[in-house]
Amino acid sequence: MKRTKVNLSNWERTEHYNFFSAFTEPFFGITLTIDCTIALKKAKKKETSFFLYYLYRATKAANMVENFRYRIIDDNVYLYDSINASPTIGRDNNTFGFSNIIYHKNETEFIKNAKEEIEKVKKGTTLFPTPKDSDDFNAVIHFSALPWLNFTSMSHARNYNLPDSCPKISFGKVVSINNKQQMSISIHLHHGLADGYHVSLFAEKFQELMNS
């Protein structure tokens, strides 16, 4: 996983980074709604899991927004050339494990690898699939799906003493409103690395991919 160290002496976000990194809670969160009417029909036609259908598009959209690929490691900022998906995977005993699904631009390859990773996590017992000292541990988006809940806001369990800069994206229950299928999506980002503007870029690209 290739990454490039950001030169803080001439980075346009250095002042923002220094300011928000000093916060006990530097993350901000936004909840919005995505129209998935077209996406549901296409996933059904492809006989593809809707979860994997939108996970691929969400990961692709995140990779298209540079600020979603910044990470803070040992008080340095790095820009990854690409980031992977790390969704929580439920197990039969109602626990879950974190996964690491490698991002591929090719949808078929992404879904193939995702299915293999999901099966491995379901059969496993450990919480983390990737060692915490691995570069890949930071090069992910933390995804979670709550298909039972149509939420309007969300917060995350956080250890403020543990350095963390990975975006967190959660998906809610698909509901029918005015003959359209909609799904809540919660997005949390480190404010030193991104702003609401970058959330809007992600949301726009994600919606376009869901409609295409």
Judge whether residue 38 has pLDDT over 70. yes
- According to DSSP, the β-strands at 84-90 and 96-98 are antiparallel
Give the mean pLDDT of the chain. 94
- Catalytic residue numbers, as ranges: 191
- Judge contact between 167 and 202, C-beta under 8 A: no
Confidence of residue 130 (pLDDT cuts 50, 70, 90): low
Residues 6 or more apart whose Cβ sits within 8 Å of residue 146:
170, 171, 172, 173
Q: Please enumerate in sequence order all residues whose Cβ is within 8 A of that of 211, keeping only pairs 6 or more positions apart, or say none.
A: 35, 38, 39
Check if the beta carbon of residue 197 is closer than 8 Å to that of residue 23: no
Work out how many domains the chain is built from and give that number. Answer: 1
Give residue 71's pLDDT band: very low, low, confident or very high (50, 70, 90). very high
What pLDDT does residue 125 have?
A: 87
Q: Which CATH number characterizes residue 10's domain?
A: 3.30.559.10
Angle between helix 50-64 and helix 107-123 axes, rounded to 10 deg: 120
Q: Which domain holds residue 74?
A: 3-211
pTM of the model: 0.94
Percent of the chain with pLDDT over 70: 96
**142-168, pLDDT tens digit by residue?**
999 999 999 999 999 888 778 899 999
CB atoms near residue 173 (< 10 Å): 14
Quickly tell me which residue has 């039972």 as its tokens. Answer: 148
